[in-house]
Amino acid sequence: MTLALGVLVSGSGSNLQSILDACSDGKLDATVRVVLSNKPGVFALERAARAGIDAVVLSHRDFSSREAFDGAVVEALRARGVDTVVLAGFMRIVTPVLLDAFRGRVINVHPALLPAFPGVDAQRQALEYGAKIAGCTVHFVDAGMDTGPVIAQSAVAVREDDTVESLRARILSEEHILLPAALQWLAEGRLSVDGRRVRVLDAARR
C-alpha cells in the first residue's frame, strides 16, 4: 500500500528530507500529505515548501495541555488524509490522544540503540557513559519516552576522538537510511508485531 504520511518536526528536517528523497527515488511507497511543526521558522518548513507539501505550524505554547495540543495535531492530520505519523526530530512527548487516533501507525527515529540513552541529547549521553557502540533506532511509539517496540537499529562505532557533533553526524547518516527502509517495510505489510517483538517478514511471506 502507499502510505499517506504526516511528518512531525521541530528542527532542520534532515530526516524529513530523507523521506522525501526516498519517495522521489521510488524507494518508498508513500506520499507526504503534511509536515507539521510545533516551532515556527524551522528549516523543515522550508523543505516542505520546496517540495510543494502542505506545512502547518501549531505552537504547543498556544495550548493548555499536551492533550489539547495533540488533539489539534490529530485534527490537522486527519483533515489531510494521513494514515501514518512519523516523528522526525519532533521534540515533544505525544499522548494517547495522538496514539489512539493512529493506533500502531506512529513511528519515531531516535539517535541511540534503545533502550540505552532515551530522551534528549542521546549522543552526549553515550559519550559521557563511555559507550563504544552507539547508533539509531526506528520504533513504534507508545506512551513512554522512547519505549515502544523496536523495528530496526543501526550501529555506529564510537571513535576515541569523537565529539558530540561528530558522533551526531555519523548517527544521522544512518538514520537517513534506516527510517525510509522501515517505512517501506510498513508499506509492504512486512512488519509483524508480537507484544514487544517486531519481525520483518520476507517479501514472500507477507
Chain segment 125-161, per-residue pLDDT in tens = 999 999 999 999 999 999 999 999 999 999 999 999 9
Residues 33, 114 contacting (CB under 8 angstroms): no
Active-site residue 60, yes or no? no
118 upstream amide cis, omega within 30 of 0: no
Q: Residue 151: which residues within 8 A CB-CB, separation 6 or more?
A: 107, 138, 139, 140, 182, 185, 191, 198, 200
Residues 102, 186 contacting (CB under 8 angstroms): no
CATH class of 3-205: alpha beta
Grid coordinates given for 102:
493512529
* Confidence (pTM): 0.95
**Segments making up each domain of the chain, as ranges:** 3-205
Q: Which of 60, 110, 139, 176 is catalytic?
A: 110
pLDDT one-digit tens code per residue, 27-66: 999 999 999 999 999 999 999 999 999 999 999 999 999 9
pLDDT one-digit tens code per residue, 68-101: 999 999 999 999 999 999 999 999 999 999 999 9
